[in-house]
């Protein structure tokens, strides 16, 4: 078995095995995926320092696309450059994409989704405990000053009130950078690089938007690819935002899906492990069989790979600038505030009876006091859910 040999020197085999495991077992959405990555790659394997992990988390929240998948890509890039980037991203996506394809085959044949309520019932409390553990550990590294603590509280309130994610993150970064800006107002090489990257990104986004506006109603693999490429290039936010984009394109504009098919597709993305964006795999299979599934999956995830590749080199340079570094600190705290709000919302839906409360409490004790690997808790919860559902 391949083994890792320290930060920056993990083998491609170790990267592949690690992300295949996470892609198979990471239920619960981006917040949980990021929590499991922190445990695996910061605490257990020590591939990244807490600050390196937080820097990449901040960057992943600033670019379009699935943040947890982009975190996987960032980690692979950090370890093995271009090859690591591709291996980590593909291995994280592959298990969910294969599973979703299998579910899509059953859906096409039987016209309904397989039942998974029992498993989800027991998994949700474990997921909440995993995210709480990650928030505690990441928060201790991220909240360095009283200003950052105040920014985190304000950001959490804003997220809870429904303020747009990017607006809150941008505001958090600006507030954190204000002292550094007032101390030294000058243009830096880093800010020039960021500006150039932002202009290029804007050009790409506008191009995709223009392409999507020329949509033809008849189905084609090319149109399917371009539609998902556009979504992957401009989508910020949660699975609910993804639902809005999918409904606008596939139900209202192209008329390729019914409302029921769309809701079933989103449900599959929620109940399967790995990235929620594998909803695209399900839709692609419904519309174009296996070729459609592959085309849709590549289309929605490709922008994330390209954006990480383009922005990854900027992160160390950002840290060399006092202003940009302070802004990144604020964005990181804002990202953790978003995770905290998601955890609160998850808790309200997860802790529904005495059994789920017991599962959450036992999971938290095992994670915090005994540092048990979250993978074992997820497997145990799945078993409890199957028994309970039976």
Of 114-128, 213-227, 324-338, where does mean pLDDT reach its minimum? 114-128
Closest to 23 (Cα-Cα) out of 69, 77, 76, 80: 69
| CA 127 – CA 118 distance, rounded (Å) | 15
| Percentage of residues in the chain having pLDDT higher than 90 | 34
For 166, the token pair is 């990017």
> For the segment 69-127, what is each residue's pLDDT rounded down to a tens digit?
999 999 999 999 999 999 999 999 999 999 999 988 988 887 666 555 666 678 778 87
**DSSP track, 327-341:** HHHHHHHHHHHHHHH
Q: What pLDDT was estimated at residue 297? A: 96
pLDDT band per the 50, 70, 90 thresholds, residue 8: low
Task: Report the chain's mean pLDDT, rounded to a whole number.
Answer: 81
Report, as an integer, the average pLDDT of 265-270.
73
For 356, the token pair is 């789920």
Of 106-115, 164-173, 301-310, 352-361, where does mean pLDDT reach its minimum? 106-115
Q: Strand runs (DSSP E) across 104-154, as ranges?
A: none
Asked if residues 123 and 26 have their Cβ atoms less than 8 Å apart, the reply is: no
| CA 69 – CA 91 distance, rounded (Å) | 10
- Helical axes 322-350 vs 146-160, angle rounded to 10°: 50
Residue 253 pLDDT more than 50?
A: yes
Q: What pLDDT was estimated at residue 217? A: 59
- The CA-CA-CA angle for residues 255, 268, 14, to 5°, reads 125
Q: What pLDDT was estimated at residue 183? A: 78
Q: What pLDDT was estimated at residue 376? A: 82
What sign results for the dihedral spanned by CA atoms 81, 85, 87, 91? positive
Q: What pLDDT was estimated at residue 194? A: 47
pTM over 0.85: no
> For the segment 158-216, what is each residue's pLDDT rounded down to a tens digit?
988 988 776 888 899 899 999 988 877 655 444 444 444 444 444 544 444 444 444 44
Where does residue 167 rank: exposed (0-12), middle (13-18), buried (19+ CB within 10 A)?
Answer: exposed
């Amino acid at each position: 078995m391949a083994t890792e040999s320290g930060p920056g020197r993990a083998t491609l085999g170790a990267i592949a095995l690690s992300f295949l495991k996470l892609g198979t077992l990471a239920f619960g959405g981006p917040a949980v995926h990021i929590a499991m990555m922190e445990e695996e790659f910061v605490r257990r394997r020590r591939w990244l320092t807490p600050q390196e992990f937080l820097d990449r988390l901040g960057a992943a929240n600033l670019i379009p696309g699935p943040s947890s998948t982009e975190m996987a890509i960032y980690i692979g890039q950090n370890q093995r450059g271009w090859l690591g980037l591709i291996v980590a991203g593909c291995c994280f996506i592959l298990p969910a994409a294969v599973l979703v394809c299998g579910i899509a085959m059953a859906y096409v044949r039987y016209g309904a989704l397989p039942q998974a309520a029992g498993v989800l019932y027991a998994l949700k409390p474990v997921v909440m405990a995993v995210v709480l553990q990650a928030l505690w550990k990441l928060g201790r590294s991220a909240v360095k000053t009283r200003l950052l603590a105040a920014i985190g509280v304000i950001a959490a309130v804003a997220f809870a009130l429904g303020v747009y994610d990017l607006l809150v993150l941008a505001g958090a970064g600006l507030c954190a950078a204000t002292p550094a800006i007032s101390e030294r107002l000058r243009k830096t090489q880093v800010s020039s690089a960021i500006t150039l990257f932002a202009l290029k990104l804007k050009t790409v986004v506008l191009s995709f938007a223009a392409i999507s506006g020329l949509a033809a109603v008849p189905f084609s693999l090319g149109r399917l690819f371009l539609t998902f490429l556009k979504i992957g290039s401009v989508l910020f936010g949660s699975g609910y935002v993804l639902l809005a984009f999918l409904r606008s394109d596939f139900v209202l504009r192209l008329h390729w899906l019914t409302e029921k098919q769309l809701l079933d597709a989103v449900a599959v993305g929620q109940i399967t492990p790995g990235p929620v964006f594998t909803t695209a795999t399900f839709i692609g299979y419904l519309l174009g069989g296996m070729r459609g599934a592959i085309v849709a999956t590549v289309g929605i995830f490709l922008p994330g790979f390209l954006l990480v590749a383009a922005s990854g080199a900027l992160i160390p340079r950002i840290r060399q600038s006092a202003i940009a570094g302070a802004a990144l600190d604020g964005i990181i705290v804002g990202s953790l505030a978003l995770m905290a709000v998601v955890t609160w919302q998850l808790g309200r839906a997860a802790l529904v009876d005495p059994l789920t409360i017991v599962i959450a409490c036992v999971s938290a004790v095992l994670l915090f006091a005994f540092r048990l690997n979250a993978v074992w808790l997820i497997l145990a919860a799945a078993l409890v859910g199957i028994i309970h559902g039976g």
